[in-house]
Chain A
Amino acid sequence: MIAIQNVSKSYGRGLRRAKALDGVSLEVAQGETLGLIGPNGAGKTTLLSCLLGLLRPDNGTIRIDGLVPDDLSVRARSGYMPERLGFDRDLTGRAFLESHWRLSGGDPRRTDDEVSGAAGKVGLDPGALARRLRTYSRGMLQRVGVAQALFGDPELLFLDEPASGTDPMGVAVVRDRILEAKTRGATIILNSHQLAEVERVCDRVAFLDRGRLAGIETLRGTNAAPRAATIRTDPARAAEAAFLLASQGFEARREPDGTIHIASARDEDIARAVGALALAGFPVFEARSSADLESLFRGAR
């Protein structure tokens, strides 16, 4: 378990001193995937850096399974992908991955197999691995970054904007790898501005704003927060359908695009709304729900 207690961190001195984290307390259970979201400068990367032991909090404590973050046994079980990938640009992709495999404590005899396997999992072919990192696109760098973070199937994964700058296929590859790690029980902390991706993979989301923890939302499980639902029916009868749902107690309204928006609905509410529409003879073409993180994000501000 990751326990963050009352962590504060400031940069600079005197008048230029700025608080990056201000009394953040948070617990992340084993096997949980936590999303960190917030505006630029909210302190997300600072928090990740503290979790990795690269920065030391001014106040408060961080313990990972009871140990300090820079304990070697914690690092041996961790994978980290940084946001900014300006590293070792004279190395080839293969040399970079080989180096990180060995640094992670991997068996040197398995280096070739592991590197090829990891590269294959993120969609990097052998030709790409032979090229220098300086020739890689942003998306390819992100993929190689994800590949090195997943070496040795780490129990703890710290990912900072892993899909930033990647094409839709890259986003899907990164998502699949995160879900794979989640399935095998890894504890994941994901810092991302891609709210839709955060929603798809995270169990909880922490909102950071100006260094403070502005809120935590549970996205999955019995304690999950109500979600927003969108139902697509016959646009000509959408107003009528929205009225019907409103009369049955739903916070329903017709959207300009002809869909019906239901605010604050649980899964069973959505099923009930679809049933009510079907019973009344409204065709239901599509029904989907989302955590509407953008609204939560705005609310947190």
Chain B
Amino acid sequence: MTETIRRYMAQKLGSVGTCLTLLLLAILSAVMLQAGRNGPTFLTVFVLAGGLVSRDAASGALQMILSRPILRAEYLLGRYFAVLLALTGYLALTFLLAMGIDRVGNAAGWSAGSSFSAATAFARCAEDLPKGALMAAVLLFFSTFLRGFGDVLAFVMGSAILAIVPQIAMGLKQAGIVRAFQSLSANLSPEPQWNQVLHGALMQPATGRYALALAGYLLLATVIFNRREFSYGAD
């Protein structure tokens, strides 16, 4: 698994385009943290976890790796933990950049009246980690059976359906559909109050649903990936 993580890091850090994109996103997030808002971490998760398995399969790298003595689950979970590691690094960079901007602003006298708080910025970054972890698990699940960036598309479409259908149903006064989709959303995409969890309030229904959803996505991804075949060439 260590080698899978190392290889993921080498892939991401080896791509100048990916590094530049992540740096720009980190700067944008740092500026938003300065303004007391959360950064667009979901975009970072797309960059880090989009096509996690499908791109390796398309390039042929996966077939070569699977011919080695490693378990498929080992490869899959290695990729997932590598994303978490990269996301943690990204969030740490964002926080440090936000701190740096604050210091420079203070020194230059630009930040007069700024309400920036290091503790709040840290908490916002920390909240983004479990959110990103669930999103990465969903992308990993889709990536085990969809081609290319089909996982990102499926995630966006799924999220849109979960958000839009209840609104339409509400407009049509279809209470049953509204309840069904709200329940679906609460179980498929649970959102615990992470600020409360960070302050010790771990035992919430949403936290349990979150843990179940995360484990469910990873388990399903592993089952599907173990059953999948990977053809090589056309001969």
Contact = CB atoms under 8 A, between A and B. Distances in A.
| A and B physically associate | yes
Contacts of A76: 69
A278 B129 CA distance: 86
Contact of B234 (A41, A95, A100, A105): A41
A78 B235 CA distance: 21
A116 interface: no
A103 interface: yes
A156 B232 CA distance: 19
Given A99-B10, A103-B70, A132-B14, A83 B61 contact: no
A49 interface: yes
Contacts of A105: 68-69
A99 B3 contact: yes
Nearest to A134: B14
B233 interface: yes
A187 interface: no
Contacts of A95: 10, 14
Interface string A195-232: 00000000000000000000000000000000000000
B36 to A, nearest CB: 37
B15 A100 contact: no
B63 A82 contact: yes
Interface residues of A, number: 44
**Most chain B beta-carbon neighbours within 10 Å: one of A11, A46, A90, A92:** A90
A213 B27 CA distance: 61
Given A84-B60, A104-B69, A90 B15 contact: yes
Interface in A14-65: 40-46, 48-49, 52-56
B61 A87 contact: yes
Q: Pick the most buried of B10, B65, B68: most chain A CB atoms within 10 A of its CB.
A: B68
Interface string A93-105: 0010001101111
A43 B69 contact: no
A91 interface: yes
Contacts of A175: none
A88 interface: yes
Given A86-B59, A105-B68, 13 more contacts: A40-B234, A46-B231, A52-B66, A54-B63, A75-B67, A76-B69, A82-B63, A84-B233, A87-B60, A88-B61, A91-B10, A105-B69, A160-B232
